[in-house]
Amino acid sequence: MRSLSVFFIVATFWLCAESHSSELASWIEFSDAYHADELDRALASRDRIEPDRVFIAALADYRLAGMHMMRGDEDNAARRLRQALSIIESESHRVTSDADLMALRGGIEGMLIGTGGFLKGMRLGPRSARAIQFALTLDPSSATAWYMEGVGLYWRPRIFGGSNSLALDALDRAIELFGQSADDPVAGWGLAEAHVWCGEILYKEGKYESAARAFSAALAVQPGYRRAEAGMNLILARTPDIAESL
């Protein structure tokens, strides 16, 4: 009887390990497709991530929403964002004690503003900011929270506290924290993205050499990252000599 119990314990552990390994592989495949801007491949790999893997499932939908937004498809973006919120709310007992989930919820609400008009911004903007600030209170070392704070500060109107300078500070902190888990495909998920956001903000401010360094850093983390390549190409087309300083 005892040996049978041991067998079931070992079998259960093995099945859980296999499931985790399979979903991690799906997440890595999804991330590769996302960075390559291959929507169909990203959608297919997202379907293999189970909803009970709450953080990566919601994060995948958040990323897919961004891909849809880049293509001008606000309807599918909004659908993905609502699905991501639903996944997070299914773990409502965890959200108020999990800084990463709380920050992701704030980031999702922030992106939802882009799928609606002024009134949606007035309603969701403060909610998004509060969620991210609460996440930073829960865990000041949450890379996800600093990432969402940086993105939020960039998009937020100046009259409501938006600031490129503060956004860069927050993203720099996110880069530092993500960098501590650079070899972990989940914990280090936003390292390349944070570099790209810095590059895009710096480019907008006319700081082309600094922007080029940020895009170069993103490509060092994630070779073939299409968004980073696009940013770098814009800079090189404008100021070809910058290539010599990289």
Q: Determine the Cα–Cα distance for residues 174 and 195; give it in Å rounded to an integer.
A: 9
196, two tokens:
């790209």
Q: Is the pLDDT at 176 greater than 90, yes or no?
A: yes
Residue 58's SS3 state is helix
CA–CA separation, 217 and 7 (whole Å): 48
pLDDT beyond 50 at 8: no
Q: The domain containing residue 198 runs over which residues?
A: 190-246
Residue-level pLDDT at 116: 80
Nearest to 108 by CA among 90, 138, 83: 83
Q: Which residues contact 50 (CB under 8 A, 6 or more apart)?
A: 23, 57
Per-residue pLDDT tens digits for 104-129: 999 999 999 999 866 676 788 999 99
Q: How many CB atoms lie within 10 A of CB 24?
A: 15
Nearest to 163 by CA among 105, 204, 119: 204
* Helix runs in 1-98, H state only: 2-35, 39-46, 54-70, 74-89, 92-95
Are residues 77 and 140 located together in one domain of the fold? yes
Is residue 236 predicted with pLDDT exceeding 90?
yes
Residue 134 sits in a domain of what CATH number?
1.25.40
Q: What pLDDT is recorded for position 94?
A: 87
Q: Residue 76: name the closest of 25, 45, 40 by CA.
A: 40
pLDDT score of 16: 39
Domain annotation covers residue 83? yes
Whether 70 and 137 map to the same domain: the answer is yes
- CA 182, CA 212: separation in Å to the nearest integer? 21
Domain-embedded: residue 34: yes
The total number of structural domains in the chain stands at: 2
For residue 246, tell me if it sits in a domain: yes
Mean pLDDT of 87-92: 90
Inter-residue contact 231 to 200 (CB < 8 Å)? yes
Give the tens place of pLDDT for each residue, 132-147. Answer: 999 999 999 999 999 9
* Residue 238, pLDDT above cutoff 70: yes
30 and 133 both lie in a single domain: yes
